[in-house]
């Protein structure tokens, strides 16, 4: 599986070509980063969801919780009236503050559990699997919403991330990885309205899946072109190679919950 193969190399790279005065971040496996060609699959997978949410945040005040490097906060600000990126990591906070300076964007160093300013929308992507008290975090997010507000939460599907039959992947940063029914149940404990969508491969990633089923893995190994192929293929992946749709959720890469 492409995602599993790429995950093995997560801790070897540093961001390239950062703006002057912006310290590059190292890829540790805890969060994804832009500007690392070898990480492009994971970056585009996350970015596709940010772009989908941004299209639903026009004119809103948004909080991007656990914003990490800051690229998602920047994307949300293309449509939102104002976006606050919240992260407790000092290196990530400083990097984001220096790199993403467009009007309407600010970064706050704080814990997601203690940040307390109200918002129209709260975004929390690929992080709930890292927290010890996920229900407490969701309850806190609900308390921040203005009337009519919405929370967006994404998390990987354990059924496609972990080996078959395993309770979780070998990602040391993850506390709990969810099955579709587990994730919905968690969300329903804190919110009255819960819609869960799945993120799936599309376009060339879908073609790659079909090629794998047809024996592509064995073919590129025999031909000795594995590295050359993936050195080209991975940086060429774009957000259009992913699609959000209602299901089937058991086959989804990630779940995206829309909570009200």
Q: Are 25 and 33 in contact (CB under 8 A)?
A: yes
74, 122, 71, 70: which is closest to 102 by C-alpha?
A: 74
132, 153, 139, 123: which is closest to 62 by C-alpha?
A: 123
Residue 4 pLDDT: 46
Residue 111 pLDDT: 97
Which is more confident, 248 or 217?
A: 248
64-96 pLDDT, tens digit per residue, is 999 999 999 999 999 999 999 999 999 999 999
Mean pLDDT of the region 136-152: 98
β-bridge pairing 194-201 and 242-245: antiparallel
Q: Is the pLDDT of residue 245 over 70?
A: yes
Mean pLDDT of the region 23-38: 93
- Give the start-to-end residue ranges of the domains of the chain: 2-259
Residue 2 pLDDT: 52
For the chain, give me the number of helices (H) and strands (E)?
10, 8
Residue 11 pLDDT: 44
End-to-end Cα distance, the chain: 35
Q: Is the pLDDT of residue 220 over 50?
A: yes
47-69 pLDDT, tens digit per residue, is 999 999 999 999 999 999 999 99
Mean pLDDT of the region 175-180: 96
| Residues 103, 83: Cα–Cα separation, whole Å | 9
Q: Sorting pLDDT into bands at 50, 70 and 90, what band is 43? A: very high
202 Rama class: left (phi>0) / alpha (psi -120 to 50) / beta:
beta
Residue 12 pLDDT: 67
Residue 35 pLDDT: 97
Residue 218 pLDDT: 82
255, 260, 234, 259: which is closest to 245 by C-alpha?
A: 255
**Percent over 90 (pLDDT), the chain:** 84
Mean pLDDT of the region 38-55: 97
2-259: CATH topology is Rossmann fold (3.40.50)
Query: CB within 8 A of 260, min separation 6: which ones?
Result: 149, 150, 151, 191, 192, 193
Q: What is the mean pLDDT of the chain?
A: 93
What DSSP string describes 181-237?
HHHHHHHHTT-S-EEEEEEEE-HHHHHHHHHHHTTHHHHHHHHT-HHHHHHHHHHH-
| Partners of 119 in the β-ladder | 145
**Percent over 70 (pLDDT), the chain:** 95
Q: Is the pLDDT of residue 216 over 90?
A: no
Query: CB within 8 A of 114, min separation 6: which ones?
Result: none
Q: Sorting pLDDT into bands at 50, 70 and 90, what band is 7? A: very low
């Amino acid at each position: 599986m492409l995602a599993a193969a790429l995950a093995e190399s997560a801790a070897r790279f540093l961001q390239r070509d950062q703006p002057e005065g912006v310290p590059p971040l190292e890829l540790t496996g805890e969060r994804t980063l832009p500007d690392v060609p070898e990480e492009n699959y994971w970056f585009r997978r996350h970015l596709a969801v940010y772009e989908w949410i941004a299209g639903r945040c026009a004119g809103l005040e948004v909080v991007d919780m656990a914003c990490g490097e800051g690229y998602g906060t920047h994307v949300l600000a293309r449509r939102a009236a104002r976006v606050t990126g919240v992260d407790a990591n000092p290196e990530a906070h400083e990097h984001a503050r220096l790199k993403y300076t467009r009007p309407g964007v600010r970064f706050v160093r704080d814990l997601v559990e203690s940040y307390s300013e109200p918002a129209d929308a709260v975004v929390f992507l690929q992080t709930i699997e890292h927290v010890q008290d996920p229900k407490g975090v969701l309850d806190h997010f609900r308390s921040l919403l203005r009337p009519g507000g919405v929370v967006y939460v994404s998390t990987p599907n354990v059924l496609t991330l972990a080996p078959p039959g395993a309770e979780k992947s070998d990602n040391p940063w993850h506390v709990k990885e969810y099955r579709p029914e587990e994730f919905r149940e968690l969300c329903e404990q804190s919110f009255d309205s819960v819609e869960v969508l799945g993120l799936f491969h599309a376009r060339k990633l879908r073609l790659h899946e079909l090629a794998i089923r047809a024996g592509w893995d064995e073919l590129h190994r025999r031909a000795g072109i594995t590295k050359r192929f993936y050195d080209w293929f991975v940086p060429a992946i774009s957000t259009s190679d992913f699609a959000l749709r209602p299901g089937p959720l058991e086959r989804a890469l990630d779940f995206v919950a829309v909570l009200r």
